[in-house]
Structure 1
């Protein structure tokens, strides 16, 4: 992934240097993405240190005990846990931190890791519609349509509930049911106690404060995540300073994201904008919303959902709020088929490979296609019904 990130940035800079990407277009991309990168860097540092404070391990251990050996109960709890993490700490953080926690829980209780891994990656993507913080595309959309965190949640709660339900059904049918998971019951783990209770409580409170701040504080989201990250960093500086390293900063993402935006913006300037304008149209009825969502989902799996959203946003007329939100649904829920469709999926594959978990690619693509279609349809249908 290091090579891919550097190659994308180098390609983007080359396109800018040769004039293939106009300077004004690159400036617009930089203006829109700079706050996103600030948010991404700070929230991942906060979440990484929160993970090292064993907040997620305590939660995962509690989930396995509350499940009491029942796969059905464990399944419901894992769906809630993964959904809440994606909603509050964003999909990339969920992929980076929750994946190893889920895989560690699978090893501790002796169950197959793939159902837990798929729960993480699918819900990281599909449970990312509700709040601006949940997905970088949401930050762009909320800015475009002028919605606060509460306003976006009020508009997207029904699509979010619908797609989480669709995801749960697909997860159970294709990964968790008896014929797929390979066991009837599991043995719950013993209570997990954090090594440093003070650090654990500080980081847990910082995460809770971050959630409250994004809902009520009248400041940019990157400022909320920066404040929470500073609290966590100071706590580690006082308790475990050896844990603070530059490697905590997600350098690969900070290199890859600008590169992707520059490359796709070049394609956008040279015809993608026209193609998207014709493909999505301008209708805001049910047919138009499903059409826009389908375009977003399909193109995200060909390219990547972040730059695709930015390109598609410019093709939506200014007053068409619901059309833009339908396109947002497509770019958030749809990127489940190809491994490169979202950064969260790329990060998830890397974590699975590091943990030695094999993900059959054909099965990943096939089941992802089923959920991409049903999940996008369910969320868009809910958006239509609540319009």
Structure 2
């Protein structure tokens, strides 16, 4: 029966990756979950428990997607593109630095989906307006949507799934992951600087100040930035009062929705579409399908090979296994499988190392994370399609280095 369970997970993931006829991921997830129950791979009680465990995380995901949409509707990403173009001053290297900063902050605060869906088009547009190759800057948003998603519990759905199991507060989680986050971004930046050196030297020469900044200046949406800042602080303090993060995200979304709707910048239908309820349902159903694997021999085998100590090699082993799993079955089901395999007694350090693996590992292959799949679609829609050879070569260089560097940084922080 474990073969059947693995086949059902594979069927759901293959459908999600290739999205035939642009059908939503939930199209196959529903029958797969039903079969999982009918075949007795998962009991109804276990399925119900899995849904209840995942539900707060999925509700938060919906609200953070809405929050990002409203911020975009109120001009946040148009302003970011304007700032990047202005700060570049005709230099592709300066633009790349601006893209790294914008992508790192966007991913950390608004999650990797905002970086892929909202920031990537702004970055490509800014590069073209400055007559610079968009390739290195587009790949930067792809890589940082993963590499910069380790800082906060809200930065990535994988973080949210693991957060409650760590027993850490929001602030403690961020404090432990700050140095690994910085190390990963610095390593990515150094590799990009060398890997794309020809692209970064091939911009047309700038002959005037106007040519250096052909994009119009956009006023900073101060109110939106303030609301996002207060929301972020709310995430940090909500744990001390036993408040689920989704309530904070809902409050921030409500505050931004008022001016966005009143000013005609969006409509209720777009807000509802931004919540991506079909994908949220997919995550819940995927949890049931993956439970059929983790409760069988595969789950027990994973439990046997996972490390139990927080030495450097223990942390590195956890990160490496998580990275491999992410590239085999995608990082979302990999996180669910590894959480079950680690069990309720796993140390926070090992779980944080697992986050490093499932977040940074997907930069190696197209199938490692849903964010990369989405980035490919966004790039193609903006006439900047991904190239398999470039992506794979870049991933082979950055992924081992960032995982090694970030894990070493985590080991140092845990020691302190």
Aligned mates of 2:336, 2:347 — CA distance in 1: 15
Q: Which residue of 1 aligns with 2:36?
A: 15
Deviation at 1:121, TM superposition (A): 1.1
CA–CA separation in structure 2 for the residues paired with 1:51 and 1:234: 14
Q: How well do the aligned residues superpose, as a CA RMSD in angstroms? A: 2.0
Displacement after TM superposition at 1:259 (Å): 3.4
Unpaired stretches in structure 1, ≥5 consecutive residues: none
Q: Which runs of 5+ in 2 are unaligned?
A: 1-18, 207-211
Mapping of residues 359-374 of structure 1, within 5 Å? 359-374=386-401
Map residues 373-384 of structure 1 onto 2, 5 A cutoff.
373-384=400-411
Give the Å deviation of 1:180.
6.0
Q: Distance in 2 between matches of 1:24 and 1:362?
A: 46
- 2-structure distance, mates of 1:192, 1:16: 56
Give the one of 69, 78, 85 matched to 2:90. Answer: 69
Question: CA separation in 1, counterparts of 2:305 and 2:114?
Answer: 32
What's the CA shift for 1:331?
0.8
Alpha-carbon distance in 2 for matches of 1:163, 1:213: 26
- Structure 1 residue 80 displacement after superposition: 0.9
CA deviation profile, 1:215-269 (whole Å, cap 9, x unmatched): 2334221111111111122222211176331323213422332233232222212
Which residue, 239, 242, 261 being the options, matches 2:263? 239
- 1:179 deviation in Å? 5.2
Structure 1 Cα separation of the partners of residues 294 and 55 of structure 2: 19
How much has 1:85 moved relative to structure 2? 0.5
Alignment of 1:129-208 (within 5 A): 129-175=150-196, 177-178=197-198, 182-183=202-203, 187-193=212-218, 200-208=221-229
Q: 1:153 to 1:248 in 2, by over 3 A?
A: closer
Deviation at 1:25, TM superposition (A): 3.0
- Larger deviation: 358-367 or 183-192? 183-192
TM-score scaled to structure 2, two decimals?
A: 0.86
* Aligned counterpart, 2:69: 48
Query: What is the aligned residue count?
Result: 382
Tell me the alpha carbon deviations over residues 163-187 of structure 1, each in whole angstroms, 9 at most, x when there is no partner: 1111111222223x23566326563
Aligned 8 A contact 1:57 1:192 in 2: no
Would the alpha carbon gap of residues 156 and 241 (structure 1) be closer, same or farther in structure 2, given more than 3 Å must change?
Answer: closer
Matches within 5 A, 1:219-258: 219-240=243-264, 243-245=267-269, 246-258=272-284
Q: Comparing 243-252 with 231-240, which one deviates more in the overlay?
A: 243-252
User: Are the structure 2 counterparts of residues 252 and 362 from structure 1 closer, same or farther at C-alpha, using a change threshold of 3 Å?
Assistant: farther
> Where does residue 92 of structure 1 map in the other structure?
113
Task: Spell out the pairing of 1:99-138 with structure 2 (5 A cutoff).
Answer: 99-138=120-159
Tell me the CA shift for residue 98 of structure 1. 0.9
Deviation, structure 1 residue 295: 0.3
Tell whether the 8 Å contact from 2:103 to 2:141 is kept in structure 1 after alignment.
yes
Compare 143-152 and 70-79 and name the one that shifted more: 70-79
